[in-house]
Amino acid sequence: MASHPKHGLVTVAQHIIEQQRNHPTATGQFSWLLSGITLATKIIESHVRRAGITNVLGETGESNVQGELVQKLDLIANETIMRCLGYRGNIGILVSEEEDEPRIIKNTSGSGNYVVLFDPLDGSSNIDVNVSIGTIFSILHKREDVWPSDGPEKHVLQPGIRQLAAGYVVYGSSTVLAYTTGDGVHMFTLNPDIGAFVLHQEGVIMPDVGKTYSINEAYRASFPQGIQDYLEWAKTDNYSQRYIGSLVADFHRTLLRGGVFLYPPTKKSPEGKLRLLYEANPMAFLAEQAGGAATDGQHRIMEKTPQHMHERTPLIIGSKSEVERVHQFLEKG
Ligand code: P6P
C-alpha cells in the first residue's frame, strides 16, 4: 500500500470530523459519539495489554445472557464502554452482548438520538492464551416513528442497512481500529507513544478473490450439505484454512487478504452462533463498504430485520466472488 501523505498524521478524531463534512446535515454530535467509543477502546486496550499482571485474567464465575462464562475482562470492557458513552449526552440507548436488556441513558438535554450496540470484548475465551480479541460496535439513529410509550426495542430492532456507522478494534500485535460511516472503510493504528489512533489506510478494498476459508471444521458433520460440498471443493482447489476463533481477528484478515469466513448453522447452534445486531451487522457493513459481501446463506445480512436483541444468525462474509461461490454450492446442496 503506497504511503499516503496523511498517514501517521491524521488522528481518528480529525478523520471523523473530515468525514462528517461529507454529511452536511451532521451536527458534530456523531463525531462526539465516535470519540467516546475510541476513548473506551483505548482504556480497554490498556487492560488487555497488562491482563497477565493485573489479575484480570480468567472467569468471573458468572454467565451472561448468552449462557457463556463471563471473563473478568468482558466485564471491565462492558463497564468501560457504558461509562465512556453514558455521559456523552447524545446517546439514548446502549445495547451490549453482556446485558440482558437495553440500557436507557437518561439525557438531561433530551438529545439522545443514537443507539449504540456493541460486543465489548469479542473472542474473550482467547484472552488467557494471548490470542487477538476485539471490540465491535454498530450505531443506529433512533427511529422517528416510535411513540415515547413504546419500549426501546423498536429503536434497537432495525435492519443493518440503517446503520450510520460500524467498526471494530482488534487488540492484536498492534491495536487497529477500522470504521465506516458509509464512505468507505478506514484503518488506524494506536500509537502508544502519543495515545492516539493514527490513520494508516483510507478506503480499504477487500480483494475480490482469496483462496482462504475460515471455519471451525470440528462441526463439519452438522454443517448444511452445501457447506460440506464447498469445503470439499476448496480442498481440491488448493485453498488454505485459517481459523483464529475470534471473529474480529478472522474478519480483519479476510478484509485485508480476501477469502471467506463462515459460521454456518450447526447442531449446537442451529441458528448460527454469531449475533446479528452487534457482530454480523457491523461486520457486514464494513465488508460491503470494502466491496465484499455478507449473507446468512440465503439473505443479505443487512436486510434482515431482527426479531429480538440477542438474535443469532449464520454468517458467510468475505470476498464477493467467494461468498457467491459458497452460495452456488448451497443452491446445489
Ligand atoms: P467457535 C468468540 O467466542 C466468538 O463469539 C467469535 O468471536 C468467534 O468467531 C466464534 O465465537 C468462535 O466460535 O464455536 O468456533 O469456538
Q: What domains are there in the chain, each with its CATH number? A: 12-201 (3.30.540.10), 212-332 (3.40.190.80)
- The pLDDT score that the predictor gives to residue 2 is 47
Using the atom order of ligand 1, give the atom closest to the CA of residue 243. 15
Using the atom order of ligand 1, give the atom closest to the CA of residue 250. 9
> Cell triple for residue 172?
492484536
Does residue 76 sit in helix, strand or coil?
helix
Quick check: pTM over 0.85? yes
For residue 226, the tally of other CB atoms under 10 A from its CB is: 18
- The pLDDT score that the predictor gives to residue 109 is 54
- Output the CA 245–ligand 1 centroid distance in Å: 5
Instruction: Tell me the CA distances in angstroms from 27 to 143, 166, 169, 186, one per residue in order.
Output: 18, 18, 25, 21
| Contact assessment for residue 97 and residue 64, using Cβ atoms and an 8 Å cutoff | yes
DSSP 280: I
To test the pocket of ligand 1, the residue of 69, 122, 251 to mutate (highest count of ligand atoms within 8 Å of its CB) is 122
- The pLDDT score that the predictor gives to residue 134 is 97
- The pLDDT score that the predictor gives to residue 6 is 66
Between CA 227 and CA 264 the distance in angstroms is: 8
Measuring from atom 1 of ligand 1, which residue has the nearest CA? Answer: 245
Pocket of ligand 1 (CB under 6 A): 122-123, 125, 216, 245-247, 250, 273
Does residue 252 sit in helix, strand or coil?
helix
Angle among Cα 192, 178, 259 to the nearest 5 degrees reads 125
Instruction: Say which residues have a Cβ less than 8 Å from residue 85's Cβ, sequence separation at least 6.
Output: 33, 36, 37, 40, 91, 94, 105, 116
Using the atom order of ligand 1, give the atom closest to the CA of residue 269. 14
Between CA 250 and CA 182 the distance in angstroms is: 22
Alpha-helical regions (H) of 134-274: 153-156, 225-236, 247-257
Measuring from atom 16 of ligand 1, which residue has the nearest CA? Answer: 245
- The pLDDT score that the predictor gives to residue 61 is 74
- Output the CA 247–ligand 1 centroid distance in Å: 6
Between CA 289 and CA 187 the distance in angstroms is: 13
Residues lower than pLDDT 50 in the chain: 1-2
Residue at grid coordinates 430492532: 157
To test the pocket of ligand 1, the residue of 247, 262, 313 to mutate (highest count of ligand atoms within 8 Å of its CB) is 247
Q: What single letter denotes the amino acid at residue 125?
A: S
Measuring from atom 9 of ligand 1, which residue has the nearest CA? Answer: 247
What values do phi and psi take at 255, rounded to 5? -60, -40
- Output the CA 243–ligand 1 centroid distance in Å: 10
pLDDT tens for 203-225 read 999 999 899 999 999 999 999 99
- Output the CA 123–ligand 1 centroid distance in Å: 6
Residue 265 CA from chain centroid, whole number: 20
> Cell triple for residue 220?
463439519
What values do phi and psi take at 91, rounded to 5? -110, 135
